Structure 1
Amino acid sequence: MTPRDDSESPEPRRSRWSDLERPPLNAAALRRALVREGGLWRELDVVQRTGSTNSDLVARAAAGGGGGRGLGEGVVLVAEEQSAARGRLDRKWVAPARSGLFFSVSLRPGDAGVPMERWGWLPLLTGVAVATGLARAGGVDTGLKWPNDVLVTVGGEERKAGGILAEATGDGGVVVGVGVNVSLRADELPVPTAGSLGLAGAVSTDRDPLLRAVLRGIEDWYGRWRAAGGDAGACGLQEAYAAGCATLGRVVRAELPGDRALVGEAVAVDGDGRLVLATEAGVQEPVGAGDIVHLRAG
């Protein structure tokens, strides 16, 4: 696309419409496609800018959401730009306006009888939906780094293009946030090891169909998992996650809480969503929390 010379146009450069390669999301069309009677999504809003969509929904839950009933399930909040987005381990997530998908959803698995000890599958479930939706709608190969980083390949190199953060709310629900770099160029990456769908050669970086595909995927997998009482094995989620997990079969270093590290081959994801490492000592040790570093391919 040839860049437009705004100096000869009556439209000021600061207009949110001036970057034709990054048009705004169509909130009305998204609502028509996703919000329906009997479906999971009951409310969808797009805001131009906020600090963090996760923080906004958590705050709404704490304030009573609506009529003192709490936030409720099926609320989707999308931001064109975030100024204080957070990833796992309190890492910051920075991206230009309209360059990615930045959204959070509210879920209440407890209302359907899913025991709290199984809620740890929610970010992994979301990871499966995100990776699959982006692959289908964007025409780009994706993978998952345990527990919930979305990976793409840029120049033969594995790079992180997205992440997921789940937070419990004070009213018994969970807010799950997603951030995906869609059209970021190399000079816009927050760190050189990051990636984007565009840099990975995606067939499409149109955010509207990408978001629709991801939200439909979350709705589908959440419905299956919830109907199975949160049993990831019974609903096929455990198998689907393992099939898309780029960490399995790799030698990795798990950087654990308390400044402890564990090195081993990632051999499985167990029924609780933990990564199982086979160590040189000949034991298999499950890892439920920590930062995973891929050391080499299996």
Structure 2
Amino acid sequence: MLTVGDPLWRSIEVVPATGSTNADLAARARRGESAGRVLVTDHQRAGRGRLGRTWTAPAGSSVAMSVLLRPERDPASWTWLPLLAGLAVADSLRAVADVPAVLKWPNDVLVDDAKVCGILAERVDGPAGPACVLGLGINVHLTADQLPVPTATSLALLRPDRRLARNDIIATVLATLALLYHRWQAGLDAELAAEYVARSGTLGRTVTVLGGDGARFTGEAIAVDPAGRLRVRTPSGVQTFAAGDVTHLR
């Protein structure tokens, strides 16, 4: 049985299989589901990522879960939510698996420059008002030939000497995310930005950012500001991104 002490999580539901935990919770949010719902599955058959990407993993090999939140803050500040989720995962994997997890702005967690977790944040509108569904996919037991792309990794590959339980990872991530979320709700954005920067694997690197309008910029990632936005120094000046698809250049 999976339990987490923080009252933020009102209900944790585990299902054997589903298409997408994000899609399932988004549908519930549109029907007025209250905040604090967590949906976990042993087998996600049609997981979704940014820019419409899809992915699958063998049953029992990954953590696939989504949480439903209805923040009291202005939706313009909700760009912080995937960053909080990434920070929660990075700190949890450091604690549970003893791996040097870092953050790739805005949606990925990396270890040794390989992706171990992807995050998808979706705003959902309905009669009960706006909600955010945060989806997290963590590669736990995947073997090398099961990885979705060559640039991915798994905790089993990183720590073959350690027996890792998915329930321990889920419980730690949820507890850590709840603490970060409460601080964000309290307006402690500058503190959270400093902690995010301390875990960043993007800052100081040359990156290419594909913006939502299709424009592409290349330059040095120099800061994550208190609003959670990435600042990149490019030949045409410093550009600030609230969202975007980032590629780390070697």
TM range (shorter): over 0.9
Q: In the alignment, which residue of structure 1 is the partner of 2:38?
A: 76
Could you tell me how far apart the structure 1 residues matched to 2:234 and 2:107 are? 22
Give runs of aligned pairs for residues 1-298 of structure 1, distance below 5 A: 28=1, 30-31=2-3, 34-35=4-5, 39-63=7-31, 70-110=32-72, 114-153=73-112, 158-170=113-125, 171=128, 172-201=130-159, 203-228=162-187, 231-233=188-190, 236-281=191-236, 283-296=237-250
Contact 2:29 2:68 in 1 (8 A): no
Rounded Cα–Cα distance in structure 2 between residues aligned with 1:73 and 1:257 = 28
Structure 2 Cα separation of the partners of residues 199 and 277 of structure 1: 33
209-218 or 251-260: bigger deviation = 251-260
Superposed CA deviations along residues 82-110 of structure 1, whole A, max 9, x for unmatched, are: 11110111111211111111000111112
| CA distance 1:73–1:257, change in 2 (3 Å) | closer
**Aligned pair count?**
246
- Residue 139 of structure 1 and its aligned partner are, at CA, apart by 1.4
> Deviations for 1:120-175, whole angstroms, at most 9, x for unmatched residues?
1001011100110111011111011010201012xxxx211111111112232111
Larger radius of gyration: 1
Q: Is the 8 A contact 1:35 1:42 kept in 2?
A: no
Find the aligned partners of 1:35 and 1:71 in 2 and give their Cα distance. 21
CA distance in 1, matches of 2:122, 2:20: 12
Q: Deviating runs (4+, > 3 A) in structure 1?
A: none
How far does residue 261 in structure 1 lie from its aligned partner after superposition? 1.4
Q: Structure 1 unaligned segments of length 5 or more: list them.
A: 1-27, 64-69
1:6-40 deviations in Å (ceiling 9; x for gaps): xxxxxxxxxxxxxxxxxxxxxx2x12xx156xx11
Per the TM alignment, residue 290 of structure 1 is displaced from its structure 2 partner at its CA by 1.9
- What is the CA RMSD across the aligned residues, in angstroms? 1.4
Distance (Å, rounded) in 1 between the aligned partners of 2:132 and 2:93: 23
Query: 2: distance between equivalents of 1:264 and 1:292?
Result: 11
- Identify which of structures 1 and 2 has the higher relative contact order when contacts are C-alpha pairs closer than 8 Å and 6+ apart: 2
**Partner Cα separation in structure 2 for residue 148 and residue 187 of structure 1:** 24
Structure 1 residue 60, shift from structure 2 partner: 1.0
Q: Distance in 2 between matches of 1:268 and 1:204?
A: 37
Give the TM-score taking structure 2 as reference length. 0.94
Segments of 5+ residues of structure 2 without an aligned counterpart are: none
2:5 and 2:175 in contact (8 A); partners too: no
